[in-house]
Amino acid sequence: MAGSDNDVEVTNEERGVMRECVKEAFWYRSLPAAAITGLSVSYALKTGKIQRTRYGGWPIIAGHSSLAYFVAKIGYIFGKNCTDKFLRQLPNSEMAEQIRKNREDDKLRWRTEHDDQLRKFSEILDEVEWESISDVEKQIMNDCNSVAFWKFSMPLMVSISGAVYLAIKKGILGASKWNNTMPKAPKMIVGASVGYVAGQYLYLYSKDCSNRFLQFAPNDRIARFLRKDETLFRETPFQDDSGSIGSDGEFGYVIPEYGSENVDKSIRDSLQ
């Protein structure tokens, strides 16, 4: 059967690199993950944290270990370590060319080539003097906070606290001994807190917020720090520019009035 135009013909050298990736995935990811998971589940069974089935605890151990094994293996094979091996050992191969093309497409999709600077986005935010940034940047940050809470933190808070509730109800987790009125509440609150923090971090590293600054306020301070603009370091950090984007949205970012329906519309439009 003839392949499509986008098919990449795999050479013997590329197959050799693939076999190395599979071998490394087994020794460095799959085997340790399966062993650690199996020991952890075995300990949970012995301490009563997980209930045994009518066939004993081995089916549970085998199931969790197998899942960890395959997830770790797939994560390594399709991860950066394996793709970098193709770029190092076979830089002129079709596979390496396809990897480079995919990475360039990813950079265009995220609208930036400065991944190393985006990883420091949280550090930039910690140094921002919010009283001195432009109105557009303030509005972008408000939208980022809204999206981070409703789209990321809230679903995780509900999911984790709900999972904790079911685990307590099924007897997998024990209820609180010092709160007799609401024995499930303490651990559910902890689960919701974990979900909130995890959602905030997931949103931060999704690059959505940093891309908003790069797209809608490209000439303001935060975007220029993200781009490593050399002219910025000769100026006073995070002072409002006279040439910053106005409230009429010169670059396409319209500042809505809070308390009106334009806020939700702005968030929905930016996510499309």
| One domain, residues 190 and 168 | yes
| One domain, residues 56 and 38 | yes
Structural domain range at position 232: 118-271
Q: Which two tokens stand for residue 196?
A: 């909130």
Residue 3: the pLDDT is 45
Where among 109, 134, 157 does a domain terminate? Answer: 109
Helical ranges in 4-79 per DSSP H? 12-25, 31-46, 58-77
Where among 109, 127, 145 does a domain terminate? Answer: 109
pTM over 0.75: no
| Token pair 């420091």: residue | 120
Q: How many CB atoms lie within 10 A of CB 219?
A: 15
Whether residue 4 lies inside any domain: the answer is no
Whether residue 128 lies inside any domain: the answer is yes
Determine the Cα angle at 92 with ends 89 and 95, to 5°. Answer: 80
| One domain, residues 80 and 124 | no
pLDDT in single tens digits along all 272 residues of the chain: 444 445 556 788 888 989 999 999 999 999 999 999 999 988 888 888 788 888 888 888 899 999 999 999 898 888 888 888 888 888 888 888 888 888 777 665 555 544 555 556 766 777 767 777 888 888 988 899 999 999 999 999 999 999 988 888 888 888 877 777 788 888 889 999 999 999 988 888 777 888 888 888 888 888 887 776 655 544 444 444 444 444 444 444 554 444 445 545 555 555 55
| One domain, residues 219 and 126 | yes
| One domain, residues 84 and 29 | yes
Whether residue 130 lies inside any domain: the answer is yes
| One domain, residues 76 and 169 | no
Residue 262: the pLDDT is 52
| One domain, residues 62 and 186 | no
Whether residue 3 lies inside any domain: the answer is no
Residue 271: the pLDDT is 54
What is the count of structural domains for the chain?
A: 2
| One domain, residues 230 and 138 | yes
Residue 192: the pLDDT is 92
| One domain, residues 252 and 140 | yes
Whether residue 170 lies inside any domain: the answer is yes
**153 burial class (0-12, 13-18, 19+ CB within 10 angstroms)?**
buried
Task: State whether the Cα torsion 124-133-150-209 is positive or negative.
Answer: negative
Whether residue 1 lies inside any domain: the answer is no
| One domain, residues 193 and 128 | yes
Whether residue 54 lies inside any domain: the answer is yes
**Long-range contacts from 159-164, C-beta under 8 angstroms, 24+ separation:** 159/195, 160/191, 160/192, 160/194, 160/195, 161/188, 161/189, 161/191, 161/192, 161/195, 163/191, 164/188, 164/190, 164/191
Where among 76, 109, 142 does a domain terminate? Answer: 109
Whether residue 2 lies inside any domain: the answer is no
Residue 156: the pLDDT is 93
Residue 35: the pLDDT is 93
| One domain, residues 264 and 208 | yes
Residue 257: the pLDDT is 47
The distance between the two most distant Cα atoms of the chain, rounded to a whole number of Å, is 73
| Of 144, 137, 143, residue with least CA distance to 220 | 137
| One domain, residues 104 and 131 | no
3-state per-residue secondary structure call for 215-233: HHCCCCHHHHHHCCCHHHH
Of the CA atoms within 13 Å of residue 155, those in its CB half-sphere come to 8
